Structure 1
Amino acid sequence: MVALLAGCGGGAGGSRGGDSQVAATVNDSELTVHQVQLVLERQPRLVQGDKEGTAAARVLEGLIDQELAAQAARAASLDKDPRVVQRIEAARREILAQSWQESVATGARAATSDEIDRYYEARPALFAQRRIYVLQESAVEADAATLPALTAQVGETRSADELANALRRAGLTPATRVVSQAAEDIPMGLLERLAPLEPGRSLLVPQGGTARIFTVLQAIKAPVDRRQAQGSIAAYLANQRKGEAVAEAMKGLRAKARIGYQGSFAASAPAGGASATR
């Protein structure tokens, strides 16, 4: 890909050194190899499976179309349209904010071997005792009055047929589907409740005025050892710490800033936060 990008630059006006290498000229404007590379970095799927090596050329054609349209927009004075100006400023603000947050995140420390061990050992359902679950998911109506009895009835059933009979006796007609999910694809709170269940057993999860009932049809053992899990655990902990670092930095910025909520937004200002101005 690097060689291809260099070729794109050399064929359209020669090298101008480093990131300024020209890939194409569009009227009086230039498109650089760096711009092509930036698109490829942001959209790695364009490169994956690119057996013919045409990803860079296709990206360049897209940039040419984009530049032509942008030039036409400026010729029509659309760059002075207040709505366009607002969108440009919003994009600029978003890019700057994201860049600052990324710079903060890079300071987060990597997980140690001991921390990875503790994470692995604390979540056997994800690793040492990992399973592939085949679940029957049934949705039924359940208000606060009937929920306790229904929960008890569901917990006593030992097969999908017994569950169906219990729901029928309760006058409920469930909407049912069967899904296959690996442990890591199940929300942790639900996984911790599913993991101890033997095939045939069910659990009920309240959800507003309804309830979702999960019946374990199969639980196929598929453990992941510490060595296999190390990379994913390290990446997860790193992302978690980056998020915490950004959140803490944003909290500090807010604490130092003068923020005044005005007009109709004053009523929804955070309690104990910045002052509200009417």
Structure 2
Amino acid sequence: MFGVLVAGCREDGAVPESQVAARVNGEDVSVHQVQAVLARQPRLLATAGEASAQRVLEALIDQEVASQAAREQGLASDPLVIQSKHATERELLARAHHDRIAAKAGGSTSDEIDRYYDSRPGLFAQRRLYVLQETAIEASDAQIKEAKAIALRSRGADELVRALKEAGFRPASRQFVQAAEDLPMVLLEPLASAEPGQSRLFPQAGGARIFTIIYAHAAPVDRRTAAPAITEFLLAERKRQLVADEMKRLRQAAQVSYGGTFARSAASAPLAGPSASVPR
């Protein structure tokens, strides 16, 4: 548990006696800290039940003991520790700002849900479960054109692989089962209009991937069943867009100057999105 759980922030001032879960060398570990960890670890509560609070408390005590030892050794002033604290604070504040902006997102209307449902037949009204064969090839841009022609005229996975080999490609294939909603939209839309035995080619760096439908089983989802998932998706999209718009506004208003080697590459470097993960 130690290292997995993250202790709540230390509170300034005395903790009311009724809120003290444990006292470690005169330092309080509060009930609030235990509850905060449990709120972030719902699976722990589900698996450990009533014992989960005690397990969390013991982990917090371990953290407090280690923290006290670190302070006694002067590690609180270690440059790496200070840098990490500042980075953590910056990340927490940025996330809190994003969460506050995202909380302004409104719900979806019935018409919006209907439009989304109707615009994605491959996900809902015409949803299918697929058995696919993925065939990967290495190819230049010119060779991809040839491979695409082979994919379009081939009828079935075996014929595709045989034709690719005859044309000098070295195909590597695998088969898998996938529901429509588990496919990237860039794959789903072309595959939704294809029939068993047909293939669709998708270029990628250094080559291409070709997907052949081995079998497709109709498994439609009606509007009523799909509505909760659509509502959740549209809300998430609204939140994402609100945060993206806010970050764009903040970046435009901010005075940013780059130094050193960053100054030379700043003009061509893409801006980090609001959900970008910044390594520390």
TM-superposed CA distance for 1:133, in Å, is: 1.0
Equivalent positions of 1:222-237 (< 5 A) are 222-237=219-234
Corresponding letter in the other structure for 1:16: P
TM-superposed CA distance for 1:49, in Å, is: 3.5
TM-superposed CA distance for 1:233, in Å, is: 0.9
Equivalent of residue 39 in structure 1, options 37, 40, 56: 37
Q: Which residue does the alignment assign to 2:118?
A: 121
Equivalent of residue 197 in structure 1, options 194, 197, 200: 194
TM-superposed CA distance for 1:269, in Å, is: 2.3
Give distance in 2, aligned partners of 1:270 and 1:21: 53
1:215 and 2:217 are equivalent in the alignment: no
> Higher relative contact order at CA 8 Å, sep ≥6: structure 1 or structure 2?
2
Give distance in 1, aligned partners of 2:64 and 2:200: 57
Give distance in 1, aligned partners of 2:97 and 2:265: 27
1:180 and 2:177 are equivalent in the alignment: yes
Q: Which residue does the alignment assign to 1:269?
A: 266
Equivalent of residue 26 in structure 1, options 24, 27, 30: 24
Give distance in 1, aligned partners of 2:267 and 2:59: 44
Give distance in 2, aligned partners of 1:270 and 1:48: 50
1:249 and 2:246 are equivalent in the alignment: yes
Q: Which residue does the alignment assign to 2:46?
A: 48
User: Compared with structure 1, are the counterparts of its residues 239 and 270 closer, same or farther at alpha carbon in structure 2 (3 Å cutoff)?
Assistant: farther
Q: Which residue does the alignment assign to 1:3?
A: none
- Identify which range, 40-49 or 174-183, moves more after superposition: 40-49
Q: Which residue does the alignment assign to 1:160?
A: 157
Give distance in 2, aligned partners of 1:158 and 1:98: 51
Give distance in 2, aligned partners of 1:74 and 1:141: 56
Q: Which residue does the alignment assign to 2:60?
A: 63
The alignment yields a C-alpha RMSD, in angstroms, of: 2.0
Equivalent positions of 1:52-131 (< 5 A) are 52-131=49-128
TM-superposed CA distance for 1:84, in Å, is: 0.6
* Alpha-carbon displacement from aligned partner over 1:166-196 (angstroms, at most 9, x marks no partner): 1221122211111111111111011000011
Number of residue-to-residue matches in the alignment:
256
Structure 1 residue runs of 5 or longer lacking an equivalent are 1-14, 274-278
Q: Kindly indicate whether the alpha-carbon contact (under 8 Å) linking 2:105 and 2:242 is maintained by their aligned counterparts in 1.
A: yes
Corresponding letter in the other structure for 2:16: R
Q: Kindly indicate whether the alpha-carbon contact (under 8 Å) linking 2:144 and 2:207 is maintained by their aligned counterparts in 1.
A: no
Give distance in 1, aligned partners of 2:204 and 2:250: 37
* Alpha-carbon displacement from aligned partner over 1:48-79 (angstroms, at most 9, x marks no partner): 333x5322221111111111111111010100
1:16 and 2:16 are equivalent in the alignment: yes
Give distance in 1, aligned partners of 2:34 and 2:188: 43
TM-superposed CA distance for 1:227, in Å, is: 1.2
Q: Sequence identity of aligned pairs in percent?
A: 53
* Alpha-carbon displacement from aligned partner over 1:136-176 (angstroms, at most 9, x marks no partner): 11111121122212211111111122112212211222111
Give distance in 2, aligned partners of 1:228 and 1:80: 56
Give distance in 2, aligned partners of 1:221 and 1:56: 47
Equivalent positions of 1:118-157 (< 5 A) are 118-157=115-154
* Alpha-carbon displacement from aligned partner over 1:192-240 (angstroms, at most 9, x marks no partner): 0001111111111111221111111111112111111111111111111
TM-superposed CA distance for 1:29, in Å, is: 1.2
Give distance in 2, aligned partners of 1:30 and 1:261: 44
TM-score normalized with structure 1 length: 0.87
